Amino acid sequence: MTDTRDTDRALVARLLSGREEAFAEFFELMFPRVYRFALARLGEREDAAEDVAQVTLCQVVRRLETWRGEASLFTWVCTICRHEIEAWRRRHPDEAFVELAEDAPEVRAALESLYTLEPGRTQTAVEQRELASLVQRVLDHLPAHYGSVLEWKYLDELPVRDIATRLALSEKAAESLLTRARAAFRDAVIAIAPDLAPAARRRGYGETS
Partner 1 sequence: MSDIGDLIRLAGRRPEPPAFRAARVRAAVEAEWRRTLERRRWMVWRWTFVAAALAVAAYWFHPTARREAPPPPQVATVVRVEGSVRLVSSPSAPRLLTTGDRLVAGAVADTTAGGRAALQLASGVALRIKEGTRIVVEAPSSVRLEHGTIYLDTKSGASASRRIDVRTPQGTVYNLGTRFEVEAGSGAVRIRVRNGQVRVDRAGPEVRVIAAQAVTLLPDRRVEWGTAPPFGKEWSWVEALAPPFVVEGATLESFLDWVSGELGLTWRYADRPAERHGHAVVLHGSIEGLTPQEAIEAVLPTCGMSQRTSRGELIVARAAR
Of 71 and 115, the one with the shorter C-beta distance to partner 1 is: 115
Q: Which of 2, 20, 124, 126 binds partner 1 (CB under 8 A)?
A: 20
Decide if 178 contacts 149 (C-beta within 8 A).
Answer: yes
143 touches partner 1 by CB under 8 A: no
Q: Which of 71, 98, 101, 131 binds partner 1 (CB under 8 A)?
A: 131
Cα-Cα-Cα-Cα dihedral sign, residues 12, 37, 132, 194: positive
Give the total of residues touching partner 1 (CB under 8 A). 57
Cα angle 170-74-148, degrees, rounded to a multiple of 5:
40
13 touches partner 1 by CB under 8 A: no
Residue of 35, 42, 36 whose CA lies nearest to 137: 36
Of 24 and 191, the one with the shorter C-beta distance to partner 1 is: 24
Q: Which of 12, 110, 114, 193 binds partner 1 (CB under 8 A)?
A: 114
Instruction: Report the C-alpha gap between 99 and 36 in whole angstroms.
Output: 15
Binding segment for partner 1 (CB under 8 A), chosen from 2-10, 67-75, 101-109, 164-172, is 164-172
168 touches partner 1 by CB under 8 A: yes
Q: Is 174 left (phi over 0), alpha (psi -120 to 50) or beta?
A: alpha
Instruction: Report the C-alpha gap between 112 and 195 in whole angstroms.
Output: 7
Instruction: Report the C-alpha gap between 142 and 185 in whole angstroms.
Output: 7
Residues 44 to 73 in contact with partner 1, rule: CB under 8 A: 46, 49-51, 53-55, 57-59, 61-62, 64-65
Alpha carbon distances (Å) from 69 to 4, 34, 36, 112, 140: 10, 19, 23, 33, 19
Q: Which residues of this chain interact with partner 1, rule CB under 8 A?
A: 15-16, 18, 20-21, 23-24, 27, 31-32, 35-36, 46, 49-51, 53-55, 57-59, 61-62, 64-65, 87, 114-115, 117, 128, 131-136, 139-140, 147, 150-151, 153-155, 165-168, 182, 185-186, 189, 200, 203-204, 207
